[in-house]
Chain A
């Protein structure tokens, strides 16, 4: 129910943000996606998740294959090759890979002992790392980054020792400069403009500044639906997708935005509770994988909007416009429901 509340707020804001643009009417599409998603969720919830887990190796191979397919036949849009066209609609395989990775991590750690060895860490890292690199070359830094919390959550719950974590941290710090060179110029610009948005207000800093202005000018009570000047004046970039939270915060103010954050927090807490009552180790891992992805999305997206995080193309789950993202969330929630339903089994 909470989830649907968030979704409807999303639809409302998509409507408001696109009311005067060429995207007008997409909120209806979003409703269809959500209805489809809910249906999917219930369907999935009746499958035994353990059966799903047993097919993980196959699914993993399919997802690798689909990522290769994107690289080969993908549609180029806005400079990145992320979509494949299936019939009349575009499909973004990197979304569905997320789900497979959650299941794969769960499967992997469910089969190991509670002790987590260095070997396990390397194997799990490779499991996530391979598709992550493939998404990186699309290039889609944002989605690639969402794979990391899946790995971290898996490792953390899998019983990673503190000294292993320390080693990974140190390695990561050492590799960071290398990573800087791998980044595309526009990605670097986004990072630098995050540090100093004022340095280049017309170009790369533009989105950050406009987003801050949108949120800040919303004040405590907000400007009201369809009355946000930043949103309606098209100053805010993509107000119906990545910057939907900024649009929402502008039009509904601090109270509205806090309420929305609270909804997300409650949803996440409920999910963790599901993990605690999950019938087995694998189930708990799956739920916590979903928690990791959802929390990461919220953190990065809202963080970006309030200026704590650099601009990445990470949508706000359940609110941002986009079919793949909506379907992913409901699919994931469907599996969680299934796990919840089976908490007394066994």
Chain B
């Protein structure tokens, strides 16, 4: 149906052929231009053609004590990065990587899967603080596994053996789950942030700003140039109010005892020392903590992760009587109240025992002063009955009980101060007058934290000035840091001078031979305080138990002490869990008070230091002028000349235990040599003795400063943090 004459124009087809020829000639010319004429130029480019983006991690700020001594430092270590923008089949390489880096393959695969949604240009931190053989694995597999890279990380170096662990807290990686929460949304996975303690509370100050570097790498993985370089901004250092000398004394004093110590300057709220036992080692968190270790920490009955100084809410026992006395005297009741302690008293048809009943009968006739230093329960039952729960709660609340102290540490708890309103709100029940009686001796529903008691007793002995405790100096924050609270806030509690003198004098008698803690007496130191021992369960329940069970529910020992007795410079609260008697807690607190006073005298006079340097001399001649401490005779001074013994412990502490220069892990080159020694140290093939000193574990000890704090003298293998039940209080006394 179509004739040949209707066919397309042959001329035009030929034209198409010529056009095509032209096109191909042009393309051929293009190829020639690139591949022949400028081949060398492009070959050079190809040589240089590998762009690698490497993050530069900013070191976190150091943490210092009030005198600028280092508490938390950094040390360099190597981390493995997985560069995921290389288009490699990571799942296929996973087994090889897992084997080389000693990561369970399943865990690695699971992580790769989870991270699939995160943009590929963000490198993934595979493993931190790698060992020399893992480093060697990466170096030797650069060609096969180009997606692996190492990076220098400034890792946290914390004091050893859990020293100050609870205040410092620890850092950890922002986990993949945390990223979905608003407070972490600005972070990238793998970023190191504070997870607890000061590290968490002041994370914004301590954290630096990471930089990044784009480098050109040639086809053999060698850097040949830098495209862009954004340097890292290191974190700011943070100065704490902690006094390392006092902290060391407190740590030693509480060694082996579960509980807590808070030492605070009641004039301004600066925390001088804070200990909680048992402790944990924050260095274990600095590198990814193992699941087993974590489970051990959270299931430990001693609750090592808990900062008991601010997180243990327990009955204050007799320490509460200081607050009762304040309420009683201010309300004009206690001055004229004199009772006869018959080993207990009957209220509302029920007999309430005085603790004295279990020893030798009764306190006899008791007024307010004796009631305090003898801790007479009968007296305070009576006072509580006369005051009523509302007035008790009013004073206790004024003194900071039942509310957070506002300390600059995370997860503080508020404790409980019961009242009629509190009972109705929480139990939908009326307050029974009988409940008031137990509250009078700090039992019943009253629950306080050590920091609350330190604050309250500090306020009373300071004449009624309630301060806000804090561990950082608010005036030293870097500009731009938003301060949440004003740490210099003070509240004035009404306390008449004569009442103040009655209470403080009675507190001084507590640590005298007539008081409940005569054994804690410190000669030559104006020491005052109040003991407490608080039941953890009721007596009736305890009576039904066997002796083994009974030991689990021993009374908690409390002591809150100050020096000097009026307008004190320091208040120390000590909780000795299962310590049974306040007197034992008082001896612990006395050690801290003594350390404080000795340090003050030492730094003021330099006498002890001068004598200590004379070889063998353990005595120093001292001239002194002193005041008896009796407020009624402020002008009566005494003077004398003494020869006092010194303990020769005079070398100053320069850093927290475990973070001195000599304590830092040895750099990579040394580690590689030590590693081989460790392998040689096989039982059968004992290496020559001269090789031994290079083993990393012993080096810090041998190069430690001349007079290290006593905690460092212990062999590294023996953990200072004893499990909760390891040392029972009896063996101490």
Contacts and interface: CB of A to CB of B under 8 A. Distances in A.
A254 B35 contact: yes
Given A233-B219, A281-B7, A254 B32 contact: yes
B548 interface: no
A253 B35 contact: yes
A21 B2 CA distance: 54
B347 interface: no
B75 to A, nearest CB: 35
A272 B13 CA distance: 7
Interface stretch (A70-78, A120-128, A282-290): A282-290
Contacts of A218: 35, 39
Interface in B30-70: 30-36, 38-39, 41-43, 45-47, 49-50
Contact of B42 (A215, A220, A233): A215
B8 interface: yes
A268 B20 contact: yes
B144 to A, nearest CB: 10
Interface string A44-63: 00000000000000000000
Contacts of B36: 219-220, 254
A23 B478 CA distance: 52
Nearest to B38: A216
A302 B89 CA distance: 29
Given A265-B20, A280-B2, A213 B7 contact: no
B89 A22 contact: yes
B39 A299 contact: no
B179 interface: no
A21 B12 CA distance: 47
Nearest to A269: B17
Contacts, number: 140
Interface stretch (A136-144, A176-184, A303-311): A303-311
Contacts of B88: 20-22
B43 A216 contact: yes
Contacts of B87: 21-22, 234
Interface string A217-236: 11110000000011001110
Given A21-B87, A215-B31, A235-B49, A281 B20 contact: no
Contacts of B42: 212-213, 215-217
A52 B219 CA distance: 54
Interface string B527-548: 0000000000000000000000
A307 B12 CA distance: 30
Given A219-B39, A261-B27, A282-B2, A157 B13 contact: yes
A153 B45 CA distance: 41
B46 A261 contact: no
Given A217-B45, A249-B31, A257-B31, A272 B20 contact: yes
Given A21-B89, A234-B86, A265-B20, A216 B2 contact: no
A69 interface: no
Interface string A259-299: 00100110011001001101011101100100100010011
A199 B196 CA distance: 48
Nearest to B218: A229
A284 B8 CA distance: 7
A34 interface: no
A229 B10 CA distance: 47
Interface in A96-138: 110, 114
Given A157-B12, A216-B34, A307-B34, A229 B46 contact: yes
Contacts of B31: 215, 249, 254, 257-258, 261, 306
User: A interface, by DSSP: helix, strand, loop or mixed?
Assistant: helix
A302 B27 contact: yes
B23 interface: yes
A261 B32 CA distance: 12
Size range of the chain A interface in the assembly: 35 or more
A169 to B, nearest CB: 16
A213 B49 contact: yes
A235 B50 CA distance: 8
A289 to B, nearest CB: 12
Nearest to B49: A235
Contacts of A159: 9, 12
B35 A216 contact: yes
Interface string A1-28: 0000000000000000000111010000
A214 interface: yes
Contact of B20 (A22, A230, A269, A276): A269
B121 to A, nearest CB: 11
Contact of A157 (B6, B8, B41, B47): B8
A336 B563 CA distance: 107
B35 A229 contact: no
A32 interface: no
A307 B30 contact: yes
B644 interface: no
Given A233-B49, A234-B87, A299-B27, A280 B7 contact: yes
Contacts of B187: none
A275 B27 CA distance: 24
A291 B89 CA distance: 39
Contacts of B17: 269, 272
Contacts of A261: 24, 27-28, 31
Nearest to B87: A234
B622 interface: no
Contacts of A212: 34, 42
A250 to B, nearest CB: 8
Given A265-B20, A269-B17, A229 B49 contact: yes
A266 B611 CA distance: 105
Which of A217, A234, A298 has the most chain B CB atoms closer than 10 A to its own CB?
A217
B680 interface: no
B27 A306 contact: yes
A135 B234 CA distance: 53
B26 interface: yes
B20 A156 contact: no
Contacts of A265: 20-21, 24
A213 B34 CA distance: 8
Given A216-B42, A218-B35, A219-B35, A276 B13 contact: yes
B662 interface: no
B16 interface: yes
Contacts of A213: 42, 45-46, 49
Contacts of A219: 35-36, 39, 43
B33 to A, nearest CB: 8
B35 A215 contact: yes
A291 B16 contact: yes
B13 A303 contact: no
A269 B18 CA distance: 10
Contact of B16 (A24, A253, A288): A288
Nearest to A301: B27
Which of B2, B9, B31, B32 has the most chain A CB atoms closer than 10 A to its own CB?
B31
A257 B36 CA distance: 12
A253 B43 CA distance: 12
Which of A214, A233, A253, A285 has the most chain B CB atoms closer than 10 A to its own CB?
A233
Contacts of B16: 153, 156-157, 272, 288, 291
Contacts of A291: 16, 20
A258 B31 CA distance: 8
A140 to B, nearest CB: 23
Given A216-B42, A268-B20, A284-B13, 7 more contacts: A21-B88, A156-B12, A216-B39, A261-B31, A280-B2, A295-B23, A306-B31
Interface of A: 20-22, 24, 110, 114, 153, 156-157, 159, 210, 212-220, 229-230, 233-235, 249, 253-254, 257-258, 261, 264-265, 268-269, 272, 275-276, 278, 280-282, 284-285, 288, 291, 295, 298-299, 302-303, 306-308
Question: Top 5 A-B pairs ranked by shortest CB distance?
Answer: A216-B42, A306-B30, A217-B46, A254-B35, A280-B2
17 contacts: A157-B16, A214-B46, A217-B43, A219-B43, A233-B49, A233-B219, A235-B49, A235-B50, A253-B35, A258-B28, A272-B13, A276-B10, A280-B2, A281-B2, A291-B20, A298-B27, A308-B26
